Structure 1
Amino acid sequence: MTKRWITFDLDGTLMQNPFVDWVFPEIISIIQQQLNQDIDIKKIIVEEHEKRMKENRIVEAYDWDDIVKQVIEELNLSTKIEVTQLVEKHTETPKVYLLENNILNTLNELKIRNYSLAVVTNGYSIYQVPVMKELGLDKLFDTVITPDLCGYAKPNESILNSLLYVGEIVAHIGDRIDHDIILANMLGITSILINKNLPNNLIEMPLEKRHEDETFLKICEEKWRAENKMKSVPFLNEAVPDYVITSIEELTDIF
């Protein structure tokens, strides 16, 4: 039987990783201790990430070990920081957590309904898999696709090649338009945007109607412009999802 895949983004969709609140602050603290001047280390790290994104070096933009190593070299410091080790150090509850209480149950229900589940994330496996294991997500996914393993990053369509070879991708769910919705729409896959802050008038609408509402289209366009703040990219038809959900639980109403 041909596999029917439902693919998921991770950060901002299913889980919270330890980078913002724990890993980056420790990196900044370590570097700052080596300096004799007050420098905004976080700004330098983020700027290098954004520079790589702007140059369409998306795979490299999520290699935090390489970015931090480059920053340290540019500051002429001798310290060595292993981001992977810091992620493992801080991957513990409550530093990492699921974004909804019933995520595991919902994913399990989709599997019961004979869907195969895959993670498709721009986060490297060395950063994502430890968090998935801590939160119990690893047991529910058949495969995890990351840039360091496949050599591609969203929205490059080739990131989904391995799944397309062994089945049909039914839908992709994510919280970003520029990475998730564009990817799915370009491949003709059902695109599902998760937005946990939808206004009540949209939440009360039927699932299949929300994406057509003018209120949502404005939200969509504002989000698109925020995600592309470093580029002058026009709002595209491909940026509108087929569905917008406010909770992962709503997926059981679609599938």
Structure 2
Amino acid sequence: MRVGDRSVARTFTVFVDLDGTLAVSPISSVIREAYSYIAINSGTNVSEVELHSWRTHIELIKRADPLAFDWDYIYRVVSKFFGVSSGYSIEKRLQELCHLSKLLDNASEVLEELAHTVETLILATNGLIKYQRCVIETLGLDKYFDAIFTPDNRGCLKSCEKFYAVPAECNQRVVVGDNYTFDIYYPKKFGLKAIHVLRSESDPYLKWLGIKRVYEPDAIINSLKHLSVALLKL
């Protein structure tokens, strides 16, 4: 966990997303590999497997259930539906490939700077810790953060208000992330500020959850290298 001098830090609590914001990991390719396993062993088109898994994922998100991002749970549900025995572990396969994880935008330098300019720095991800731990350790991210918030230690997803609960003295909360639904829409709905790291205009959750772009981010940046300046302007 984070150590160092915070005497000049602003009284911000900054929640920084992991996947797609700070780093990319092999999790998506591992999930696709798992669905291909189901398709091959059931004689089903992989697109049908992916659609069923996505619908399961969305139904769990609607309940803010941490199982929405438990990919092994979803795999078991989907494999049972298609009559395939559960013979694949997404968690285990990810650990084998976790060395392929990569930081984006020189994220370590950005986080090092933030450690001296904000009061509290929290890694906030919808990914369960059993999947994110190897990414965090591989990339050496743990040392920059005061805490790591995941659905399994917060009891819900980033779509629920209690996910962002911190002590009352933390008077300015800011979310930084690349996904409109989870990093802009819900934080703004709950009264937090939000900085959008714009990697893509696409967000399939908007359609599937029936969400409109009714909230604007407080800042939009196209690279983490602009994050410190964006925070200073809030």
TM-score range, shorter chain: 0.7 to 0.9
Q: CA deviation at 1:57?
A: 4.2
**Match of residue 24, structure 2, among 5, 12, 16:** 16
Which residue in the other structure is 1:87 paired with?
94
Alpha-carbon distance in 2 for matches of 1:166, 1:26: 45
Superposition pairs for residues 242-253 of structure 1, below 5 Å? 242-253=218-229
* Deviation digits for residues 143-198 of structure 1 (CA, Å, limit 9, x no counterpart): 1101111111112110012x23563444110112221112332333221111146x
Which residue in the other structure is 1:211 paired with?
none
Superposition pairs for residues 129-140 of structure 1, below 5 Å? 129-140=133-144
Q: Bigger CA drift: 182-191 or 8-17?
A: 182-191
Which residue in the other structure is 1:208 paired with?
none
Alpha-carbon distance in 2 for matches of 1:81, 1:165: 44
Is this contact kept in 1: 2:158–2:186, CA < 8 A? yes
2:170 matched to 1:167? Answer: yes
- Give the letter for the 1:243 counterpart: A
Q: Which runs of 4+ in 1 moved over 6 A?
A: none
The aligned length equals 221
Is this contact kept in 2: 1:97–1:135, CA < 8 A? yes
Which residue in the other structure is 1:26 paired with?
33
Give the share of equivalent positions with the same residue, in percent. Answer: 26
Change in 2 beyond 3 A, CA 1:49/1:196: closer
Q: CA deviation at 1:32?
A: 4.1
Q: CA deviation at 1:231?
A: 4.1
TM-score, structure 2 length as denominator? 0.83
Alpha-carbon distance in 1 for matches of 2:50, 2:190: 36
Change in 2 beyond 3 A, CA 1:133/1:170: same
2:132 matched to 1:128? Answer: yes
- Of structures 1 and 2, the larger Rg is shown by 1
Structure of higher RCO (CA pairs closer than 8 Å, 6+ residues apart):
2
Which residue in the other structure is 2:197 paired with?
194
Alpha-carbon distance in 2 for matches of 1:81, 1:122: 22
2:57 matched to 1:49? Answer: yes
Is this contact kept in 2: 1:52–1:61, CA < 8 A? yes
- Give the letter for the 2:101 counterpart: V
Aligned partner of residue 10 in structure 1, secondary structure:
coil
